Amino acid sequence: MDTKQHAASVVEQRMADLVALSHDLHAHPETSFAEERSAAAVAGLLEGFDVSRGICGLPTAFSARAGSGPLVVAICAEYDALPNVGHACGHNVIAAAAVGAGLALADIADDAGLTVLVLGTPAEEGGGGKVLMLERGAFDGVHAAMMVHPWPTERLAGACLAVSHVDVTFIGREAHASAAPWEGVNALDAMTVSQVAIGLLRQQLRPGDQVHGVVLDGGSAANVIPARVTGRFMCRATTLEGLQRLDPRVRACFEAGALATGAGVELEEICPVYSHMESDAPLLAAYRANAEALGRTFTLDDEGVPLPTLSTDMANISLAVPTIHPLIRIDAGGAGNHSHAFAAACAGPSADAAVHDGAVAMAWTAIDAATRPELRDRLLS
């Protein structure tokens, strides 16, 4: 049996465990940096690996290593969920597919010339876990990195936007809204002015730039002028350079809200900036061939349909290490990511199939990277 056949057979043998892991994570969603149960479950399935938990100063991050070949391939497992909608981005599928790929490669890693590194990467949803892990050395010595991400359509990549995340707090002065409103400083008015300014700014934004956010706390009673109002906002641009142009303009809108109302304003970066992504074309071509061998098709890519927009901290890895982040289709009945309907689909039959196909396709791509001279020599150089 050759290495690819062996890898596929391991995934087949472990499918019950992998699906059980995916469904368990789905049933017990944990948000950014709170994924204690999830991280333990994912790492616990990597039998035979040298597992280090709580790496990089992050209690819910881990590394699991197998093999001693010259080419080091990192397979990233995400397992954080979204507030209120659970695994509506399919990170349970990502984690299970990553574990499957790792298990598939462990026994044949030395024969293929591989060192397999499964990295448990917390807090993709607005926490920047991978950025912190990159800065703290988790990707040192890695020659290639990969993961698959559930999506409503099969795509080789998305149009990955650079993004900043900021919490905004306006500080005013409370007062009775009827008896003495002139004594108050309305923090909610400051937020409203800011949102109007952002809305007007949008007509001057460059193509691809985006701003969006939510009010987290807008006050407690209609007859009390709110003294403290908070919100969370994201700025996105097609490149880091574009984000550096956009972000100050949006911050000026918050300052305008404070100036107009007399409120104070505090801006807090809640995680590192996510960069744009630069996918590694040769690795992506290998992944495509392997996914197609499993029956996946990339019609939308071939037809030139515009790429879906998204942001991920895997993008920061792509600027440091050759990286791929293909989107693997699950059937969500037309629903998109970050919705309750997509969350439900992430524990359905097509999601289970994505665990299988994602695991095998990544394992086969890692084998290609280690055994095909045109890939291996470039990555090792």
66-101 confidence digits (pLDDT tens): 999 999 999 999 999 999 999 999 999 999 999 999
Query: How many other C-beta atoms lie within 10 A of the C-beta of residue 65?
Result: 20
Do 146 and 188 lie in a common domain?
no
- Distance of alpha carbon 190 from alpha carbon 144, whole angstroms: 47
165-215 confidence digits (pLDDT tens): 999 999 999 999 999 999 999 999 999 999 999 999 999 999 999 999 999
- Distance of alpha carbon 86 from alpha carbon 92, whole angstroms: 10
Do 151 and 170 lie in a common domain?
no
Do 71 and 190 lie in a common domain?
no
Residue of 318, 353, 367 lying closest to 116 (CA atoms): 367
CATH code of the domain in which 146 resides = 3.40.630.10
Last residue of a domain, one of 212, 243, 269: 269
Do 336 and 360 lie in a common domain?
yes
Do 124 and 168 lie in a common domain?
no
Decide if 357 contacts 296 (C-beta within 8 A): yes
Number of domains in the chain: 2
Do 41 and 93 lie in a common domain?
yes
Do 93 and 156 lie in a common domain?
yes
Last residue of a domain, one of 209, 242, 269: 269
Do 295 and 371 lie in a common domain?
yes
pLDDT score of 1? 66
31-44 confidence digits (pLDDT tens): 999 999 999 999 99
355-375 confidence digits (pLDDT tens): 999 999 999 999 999 999 999
Decide if 125 contacts 313 (C-beta within 8 A): no
Do 166 and 211 lie in a common domain?
yes
227-237 confidence digits (pLDDT tens): 999 999 999 99
Do 135 and 199 lie in a common domain?
no
- Distance of alpha carbon 284 from alpha carbon 54, whole angstroms: 31
CATH code of the domain in which 236 resides = 3.30.70.360
pLDDT score of 371? 97
Handedness of CA 118, 119, 122, 125 (dihedral sign): negative
The residue range of the domain holding 218 is 162-269
Do 56 and 133 lie in a common domain?
yes
> What mean pLDDT do residues 318-322 have?
98
Last residue of a domain, one of 269, 293, 318: 269
Do 57 and 188 lie in a common domain?
no
Residue of 203, 202, 190 lying closest to 256 (CA atoms): 190
> What mean pLDDT do residues 110-136 have?
97
This prediction has a pTM of: 0.94
